């Protein structure tokens, strides 16, 4: 079954989809290993992990699209990916949707900020005109229908906190985007529970909630009770990874080898202890045994030292 179809089937269920964010292929695999049915590729995370730069419009479609391709093909679960503004006007958006479908991603969200855009939870956001944005979502829906009707198109508006915006504008826009063909509505960065409730009341159809930044930190159960279909946690992969690496290398700076030895001890019994197995070295050997001459495989493993597959 295609991953797009899998995601559609998951959305058809009544239970909210809890979707942690990754920023590369290995963090996508970790999220899958933990048992989640869907993973999210964070544009903020790609900008940080690939460029070491803030999410302020520095990444190109080529960079995020490539990260999405690697991550989506590293896992067996559907992936929702950040597609920023669609990387141009309505004509460019059609190519964007086609390219993301070809990566193996199951769905994307496209936002209505001007280019260069920025993280939806920081100040300085500006919007493209409503008519232009509607045209982009119409174009995106046409590309979806042409290449894969199950591909999930998520319309994100940043109008709540942008120049000339506000909650009324955000609701008006996201409803217009749904009418233009979007499958899921995403109002970015509502700052209060009252506003969250109003969004649920006034925006029909499946809703996505971004549990980060200035928005209320609501539990999945609370969001399901409110009526949301999806909740994403964009920083779930990036923030813990950055913090853990910093703690380890800072300890190494102080204690040298002793810190590394202690780290290995703490990893005993951890699901990620055998990183070689997690990344698939045993699978490589199985493929070799199936497709390469038997004597060659036996010799290469018996006559060499190292991790035993």
Whether residue 283 lies in the annotated active site? no
Whether residue 121 lies in the annotated active site? no
Whether residue 210 lies in the annotated active site? yes
Whether residue 40 lies in the annotated active site? yes
Q: Which of 32, 40, 100, 211 is catalytic?
A: 40
Q: What element of type H or E holds 157?
A: strand 152-157
Whether residue 119 lies in the annotated active site? yes
Q: Which of 150, 183, 188, 195 is catalytic?
A: 188
Whether residue 168 lies in the annotated active site? no
* DSSP assignments along 38-107, one per residue: -EEE-HHHHIIIIIS--SSS---HHHHHHHHHHHHTT-SS-EEEE-TT-SSSHHHHHHHHHHHHHHT--E
- Give the span between the Cα atoms of 173 and 175, in whole angstroms: 5
Q: Which of 160, 210, 211, 233 is catalytic?
A: 210
Whether residue 96 lies in the annotated active site? no
Whether residue 197 lies in the annotated active site? no
Q: Which of 55, 112, 150, 158 is catalytic?
A: 55
- Give the span between the Cα atoms of 280 and 133, in whole angstroms: 43
Q: Which of 8, 22, 44, 82 is catalytic?
A: 82
Pair 127, 113: CB distance under 8 Å: yes
Whether residue 270 lies in the annotated active site? no
Q: Which of 22, 32, 44, 84 is catalytic?
A: 84
Whether residue 111 lies in the annotated active site? yes
Q: Which of 69, 138, 144, 156 is catalytic?
A: 156
Nearest partner of 220 among 84, 37, 79, judged by Cα: 37
- Per the listing, tokens 């939870």 go with 121
Nearest partner of 56 among 123, 130, 156, 154, judged by Cα: 123
Question: What single-letter DSSP state applies at residue 176?
Answer: H
Q: Which of 44, 69, 112, 119 is catalytic?
A: 119
Q: Which of 24, 32, 99, 111 is catalytic?
A: 111
- Per the listing, tokens 């899921």 go with 184
- Give the span between the Cα atoms of 306 and 164, in whole angstroms: 62
Instruction: Return the active site residues.
Output: 40, 55, 82, 84, 109, 111, 119, 156, 188, 210
């Amino acid at each position: 079954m295609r991953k797009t179809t899998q995601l559609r089937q998951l959305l058809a269920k009544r239970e909210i989809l809890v979707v942690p964010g990754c920023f590369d292929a290995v963090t996508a695999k970790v999220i899958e290993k933990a048992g989640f049915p869907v993973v999210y590729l964070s544009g903020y995370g790609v900008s940080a992990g690939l460029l070491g730069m803030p999410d302020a419009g520095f990444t190109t479609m080529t960079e995020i699209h490539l990260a999405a391709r690697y991550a989506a093909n590293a896992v067996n679960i559907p992936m929702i990916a950040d597609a920023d503004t669609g990387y141009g006007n309505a004509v460019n958006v059609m190519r964007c949707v086609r390219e993301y479908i070809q990566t193996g991603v199951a769905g994307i969200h496209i936002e209505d900020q001007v280019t260069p855009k920025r993280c939806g939870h920081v100040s300085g956001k500006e919007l493209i005109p409503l008519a232009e944005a509607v045209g982009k979502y119409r174009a995106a829906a046409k590309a979806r229908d042409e290449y894969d009707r199950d591909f999930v198109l998520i319309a994100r508006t940043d109008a709540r906190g942008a120049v000339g915006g506000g909650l009324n504008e955000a609701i008006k826009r996201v409803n217009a985007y749904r009418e233009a063909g979007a499958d899921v509505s995403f109002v970015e960065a509502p700052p209060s529970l009252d506003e969250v409730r109003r969004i649920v009341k006034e925006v029909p159809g499946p809703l996505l909630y971004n549990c980060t930044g200035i928005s209320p930190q609501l539990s999945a159960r609370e969001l399901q009770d409110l009526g949301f279909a999806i909740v994403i946690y964009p920083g779930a992969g990036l923030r813990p990874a950055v913090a853990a690496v910093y703690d380890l290398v800072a300890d190494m700076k102080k204690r040298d080898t002793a810190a590394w030895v202690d780290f290995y001890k703490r990893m005993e019994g951890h699901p990620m202890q055998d990183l070689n197995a997690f990344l698939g070295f045993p699978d490589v050997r199985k493929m070799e045994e199936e497709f390469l001459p038997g004597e060659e495989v036996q010799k290469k493993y018996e006559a060499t030292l190292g991790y035993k597959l």
